[in-house]
Structure 1
Amino acid sequence: MASSRPKNAPFLFPTFNSSVLPDPSRFFSHDLLSAPLPTNSFFQNFTLKNGDQAEYFHPYIIKSSESSISISYPSLSHNSAFIYEAFNADITISGSDEPDQHSRKTHLISSFSDLGVTLDFPSSNLRFFLVRGSPFVTCSVSSGNSSIKISTIHAVLSFTGNSSSTKYTAKLNNNQTWLIYASSPINLVNDGGSSINCGGGFSGIIRIAVLPDSNPDFESILDRFSCCYPISGDADFTKPFALEYKWEK
């Protein structure tokens, strides 16, 4: 039987509604829907069910929820049958307690690459640049009226900041130490429990990183690169017998 498709026209796969997997397009920005969406990608869990499944981004496990993401620096559990990294919400970054009721609460994927994905939260003016292999989780706050809250499931044993209010150190009772960097002064205050609140609005970049093994020798390295952040990354196979990773900053 002759095909009704015009000559030289690209083949389009027929539309199919799965009874197992929901339509992932609702988690992608409109600008990305004009091209095929990726399958079996490293950020696939952000598009399944409600988009709130944890996903592994070396060295963190990251979970998205309404107007926030949670970061886990996992420990490795293993036995003769399996190797497993459990998710614990060591650090959660969220927006205002009263987000815009007319904006979507779940995340929106605004861009992706071989090594990175960008999550937008329109209701709280937050954008997260999640790049595999980066020791930092980077958050862009686009409105000066935005209120930022950082919380943890652990107790905060100590919380200190530098004289310019652009770097803070949080020591938790699970032996983890987290460093918080800001592109401009930000007034972060620990409530005496497990929450760190921003006094007043903030607009700019916030970067959070765990201090490996709470070893102060690594802190100077994180300090050095805290101001330069990647927003995406690609795997380059253009050279013979070579694989090169390239990050965009």
Structure 2
Amino acid sequence: MRIATYNVNGINGRLPRLLEWLEETRPDVACLQELKAPQEKFPEAALEKAGYGAVWVGMPRWHGVALLARGCEPVETRRELPGDPNDAQARYVEAAVNGVLIGCLYLPNGNPQPGPKFDYKLAWMKRLNDYAAELLGAQVPAVLAGDYNVVPTDFDIYNTRSWLDNALLQPEARQAYAALLDQGWTDALRHLYPDGRIYTFWDYFRNAYARDAGLRIDHFLLSPELVPMLKACGVDRDVRGREGASDHAPAWIELNR
């Protein structure tokens, strides 16, 4: 079972790139972030033609998440992160696919910091940690996949020099991410490649992709039930170098199921 995550940075504007990647790699599940499209503008028909059922939460201009399943309809279980009924930002959708509960998330960026956007990021992470603990308590095979907007350690970035004030590297965000691991979740990419230089994001500026000036901010967290099934993972980094590409590359894991 191949599960992928991909921040598409505008699903309609980059639909040809998305469809191209789906055809090439055929993931069983694809978690998408930053749709930047209202609910009614999601390209459901094009994705259905490509062989994917979908659940999604859209939002005009900003945010938005979707979960695609190849050859079947994902069984939606949740379309918001619990803990704040007044939070209207489209950042979480969850569904069951082939016996695995998959949460697709787009964690707040938090810039500029300090300030209200960073406060919102930390509050959202607190809600995520609380809900993640509930999932572990239920002992269900679960994956929390998506754009976490957190660089877990200095090893996960090409160079910290120009990013020291960025919300992605702040100690509070890193501590919240580490707390998820302390609960019992496993960072899949780092589990299989503890010493690998793995990036999933390259800025559009300063020729970052060509220089491999990347960051690892797209993650898969696995519940204990799935860790023994993890057999492979990687990043389709060449997708980032294509014309009209997102500034993220798709990442993926493979589970023996």
Using structure 1 for the length normalisation, give the TM-score. Answer: 0.28
Larger RCO of the pair (alpha carbons < 8 Å, separation 6+): 2
More helix by share: 2
Computing the radius of gyration from Cα coordinates, the structure with the larger value is 1
Using structure 2 for the length normalisation, give the TM-score. Answer: 0.27
More strand by share: 1
